[in-house]
Amino acid sequence: KNYFRSKKALRKIFMNDVNDPLLWIFNPELPKEVFFEKCNFNQPINPNVSPTEILVINDIWKINNEIIINWTKLPNLRLVDITCNRISFRGLDSCKNIEYIRILTDENQVLPEFVEKFSKLKFFITSCFSLKKLDFVSDDLHTFFVPNQKLQKGSTHPHNYSHLNPRCFNPIEYMNQ
């Protein structure tokens, strides 16, 4: 008798320098932790609804013009760490459990206003810019970096790191504290 249950077998996946990495993942769901380093996404990232809590995409070679993710298929995301040329934010607002975000893009990209509504946000660092003053609803936000943004006077958010290099922060380290 085979007691192997594929949905419970894989908790973490790390892929490095792979073309279309989703083609190599045989389970239609992504695991709890997903790390893609220097991977080429020729098509949008569109898994089945997945229990993924950590998504890291490090496109340091800037292979992809734009990374497109069907965020609605990742409702349990807690941490998003993406370095790329450009990313599509469409649907990211459906990820209600996000606590840690680091999104660094090479292009001058506008940050969607809905990011200020993530109520569980603790860590938010981006190279994207906002067209308006952001007023985050999360009382737990303790690490903040958005170009050309300053926190409101009297804000309860104590650490504005807008004067530092956003690449020096690792959200996974903050998550594990």
Percent helix, percent strand, percent coil in the chain, to nearest 5: 15, 25, 60
pLDDT tens by residue, 20-64: 888 888 777 899 999 999 888 888 999 999 999 999 999 866 777
Record the tokens describing residue 102, joined without a space: 């680091």
* Per-residue confidence (pLDDT) for residue 3, from 0 to 100: 40
Reported residue count of the chain is 177
pLDDT tens by residue, 121-165: 998 888 888 888 888 899 888 777 777 565 443 344 445 554 556
- Which of 85, 78, 99, 118 is closest to 134 using CA atoms? 118
* Per-residue confidence (pLDDT) for residue 52, from 0 to 100: 95
- The residue type at 46: N
The DSSP code for 112 is P
Record the tokens describing residue 122, joined without a space: 């603790």
- Which of 12, 38, 75, 37 is closest to 25 using CA atoms? 12
Residue 100 pairs in a beta bridge with: 79, 123
Residues 24 and 15: beta-carbon distance below 8 Å: yes
- Which of 65, 91, 59, 63 is closest to 77 using CA atoms? 91
* Per-residue confidence (pLDDT) for residue 23, from 0 to 100: 86
| Rounded mean pLDDT, 96-114 | 91
